[in-house]
Chain A
């Protein structure tokens, strides 16, 4: 198994390596204008420069660790990640209880569904003007937009999750004497976890998209902001370095999510192998 996984990883590296080789070759041959498409080597150099601290290490100024993380790239990545996590927690934190209620109670579903269905198709991006009007600039509008992006995937999946709970579990629990609240918390909620987690995964993905857009408009740091800033100066190598960082960060988040998934769903039949 482990060997297989390893082989899969090496195999996965093949395509990126070929793409980079062709790209580097094209750059060296002078086929493309480096202003428009800089060589991978130039991007890598920029990426390292972007990641290293701007000032030399000064023991007077603070700890070595703080210095090591003071590079622009690291600060940007931390800023973006903070917004994704905080925005996601707000959005999912509101969506989860509402979804559980809407899934469990026909009355609450009837009350809320039309509203949800009308608001849901509006992309978070469309809220940008209002978000700035309501919250000004900086983190608040960004968090608003990100939480909005995370809210609906988690909500819809939670509703679906509660609705698909097999009635046999409810019957068994009632037979054991479970009260309504026990039924809700110890049967319906855990039984919906597979659906909720897939909503969480989609929600984090959306949050990640929205954070970049929000930073391009409302914030003055973060990876999204940096890409737009680099565009002003025609630093295409920095644009690409920022984009690759976004990609790697997204990959890391998804790997973490998949770990969490496997742990929380270790009881689930779908994971049998």
Chain B
């Protein structure tokens, strides 16, 4: 009976995902098995086409696995839900809502009383340095600010799991580092379980407790490693660089397979 205590927050068991196009099948994910314990910060790392976003979408419930299953807290994922808040690369803020309304939306859906929503939203906006922007529309915000709002929107849900799909991919280097630090602070404070998709090796090492490197088609787990450098990590640190070299090698192999596959496809066409 103490299985419940030790059961992982997210369990991915034998997950396959096949995409069918007109004339062929693409195996995007093949036999993925991962247990993610509560509070872990996991980065899914790999070149484009390795299925890392597909896996994230499967956890989110947007595109279910062709076979195998994903459970969160013992419940099988069958649809999207607010217990697995997602931060998208394209922000996906509702442009017709102000910053405040965007963050409040999930709580309104939950049916939280108005006064409580106002309080909670104000608290979160304050925490993320957005309070002065609360009546602005997304179009008036910079990319970094927009992504802060998107993070606040997920935090408002108070979900144990936060899914992030290359959330900082479109930001400039400085803003990116800024938000990475902010995210670590939030993770530390709110004790979320985070699954974070990235193709940046440095980002993965900077953030993660654990890095899962994926192979190019079919997407499998190539390497599953723990990063036990103390935080905040220093990208100039020798250990950081050793890890970067090692992961760089792994990712490069897959990148090359990707490249060859594309050359072959081009030749066939």
Which residues of A are at the interface with B, using a C-beta cutoff of 8 A? Answer: 168-169, 171-179, 182, 186-187, 190-191, 193, 266-269, 272
Whether B88 pairs with A268 at a CB distance below 8 angstroms is no
Tell me whether A269 and B86 are in contact in the complex, defined as CB-CB below 8 angstroms, given that A175-B60, A176-B106, A177-B106 are known contacts: no
Given A176-B157, A177-B109: A171 and B95 within 8 A (CB)?
Answer: no
> For window 79-135 of chain B, which residues contact chain A by CB distance below 8 Å?
79-82, 84-86, 88, 90, 92-97, 105-106, 109-110
Could you say which residues of chain B place their CB within 8 Å of the CB of A266?
137
Sample of 5 more A-B contacts, CB < 8 Å, known A168-B88, A267-B139: A168-B92, A175-B85, A176-B105, A182-B109, A191-B94
A267 contacts B95, CB within 8 Å? Answer: yes
Contact, CB under 8 Å: B95 / A176: no
Is B190 an interface position by the 8 A CB rule? no
Sample 26 A-B pairs with CB under 8 A, ordered by A number: A171-B86, A171-B88, A172-B86, A172-B93, A174-B62, A174-B79, A175-B82, A175-B85, A175-B86, A176-B85, A176-B106, A176-B157, A177-B80, A177-B82, A177-B106, A177-B157, A182-B109, A186-B105, A190-B96, A191-B94, A193-B96, A267-B96, A268-B96, A269-B95, A269-B139, A272-B139
- Residues facing A in B206-250 (CB within 8 A) are none
Q: How far is the CA of A176 from the CA of B90 in the complex (A)?
A: 16
> Which residues of B have CB within 8 Å of A187?
94
Instruction: Say yes or no: A171-B109 contact (C-beta < 8 A), given A268-B95, A269-B95.
Output: no
Please determine whether A177 and B110 come into contact, CB atoms closer than 8 angstroms. Answer: yes
**Closest CB of chain A to B12's CB: distance in Å?**
19
Give Cα A268 to B97, complex, Å. 10
CB-CB under 8 A from B94, the residues of chain A are 169, 172-173, 187, 190-191
Contact B109 A168 (CB under 8 A): no
A-B complex: 7 closest residue pairs judged by Cβ atoms? A177-B82, A176-B106, A172-B92, A267-B137, A190-B96, A174-B80, A168-B92
Residue of B whose beta carbon sits closest to that of A183: B109
B145 to chain A, nearest CB (A): 15
Kindly provide the distance from the CB of A84 to the nearest chain B CB, expressed in whole angstroms.
28
The answer for the CA separation of A201 and B268 in the assembled complex, in Å, is 51
Nearest-Cβ distance from residue B149 to partner chain A, whole angstroms = 12
The contact string, 1 if C-beta is below 8 Å from chain A, for chain B 134-174, is: 00011100000000000001000100000000000000000
- When distances are taken between beta carbons in the complex, the residues of chain A under 8 Å from B138 are 267
**Cβ of B106: which chain A residues have Cβ within 8 Å of it?**
176-177
Residues of B within 8 A of A176 (CB): 82, 85, 105-106, 109, 153, 157
The smallest C-beta distance from B63 to any residue of chain A, in angstroms, reads: 10
Q: Is the interface of B mostly helix, strand, loop or mixed?
A: loop
How far does the Cβ of B10 sit from chain A's closest Cβ, in whole Å? 16
Indicate if the CB atoms of A169 and B81 lie closer than 8 Å.
Answer: no
| Closest A residue to B150 using CB positions | A172
**Closest chain B residue, CB of each to CB of A172:** B92
Tell me how far the C-beta of B158 lies from the nearest C-beta in chain A, rounded to whole angstroms.
12
Name the residue on B nearest A189 (C-beta). B96
Chain A residues within 8 Å of B86, by CB: 171-172, 175
Chain A contacts of B88 at CB under 8 A? 168, 171-172
Interface code B55-86, partner A: CB below 8 Å = 1, 0 otherwise?
A: 00000101000000000000000011110111
Quote the shortest CB–CB distance from B163 to chain A (angstroms): 9
Shortest CB-to-CB span from A188 to chain B, Å, is 11
Tell me the minimal C-beta distance from A219 to chain B in angstroms.
Answer: 40
The answer to whether A171 and B62 touch (CB under 8 A), given A176-B106, A193-B96, is yes
Report the Cα distance A169→B138, complex, angstroms: 13
* Residue among A176, A177, A269 with most chain B CB within 10 A: A176
Question: How many angstroms between the C-alpha atoms of A175 and B105 in the bound complex?
Answer: 11
A177 to B157, CA, bound (A): 10
Which chain B residue shows the least CB distance to A270?
B139
Q: Which residue of B lies closest to A182 (CB)?
A: B109
Cα–Cα, bound, A178→B106 (Å):
8
Max chain B Cβ within 10 angstroms of own Cβ: one of A171, A175, A266 = A175
Which residues of the partner chain A approach B85 to less than 8 Å between Cβ atoms? 175-176
Per the bound structure, the CA–CA distance linking A193 and B94 in Å amounts to 13
**How many whole Å from B165's CB to the nearest CB in chain A?**
10
Instruction: Assess the A191–B96 pair: CB atoms within 8 A.
Output: yes
Counting chain A CB atoms within 10 Å of each CB, the highest count among B62, B86, B105 belongs to B105
Chain A residues with CB under 8 Å of B92's CB are: 168-169, 171-172
CB-nearest residue of chain A to B81? A177
Residue numbers in B under 8 Å from A272 (CB-CB): 139
B85: nearest residue on chain A (CB-CB)? A175
CA distance A272 to B95 in the complex (A): 13
Interface-centre pick from A172, A182, A191, A193 (highest chain B CB count, 10 A): A172
Question: With a CB–CB cut-off of 8 A, which chain A residues contact B95?
Answer: 267-269
Complex Cα distance, B153 from A190, in Å, reads 19
CA–CA, A174 to B109, complex, Å? 10
Contact bitstring B176-214, A, C-beta under 8 A = 1, else 0: 000000000000000000000000000000000000000
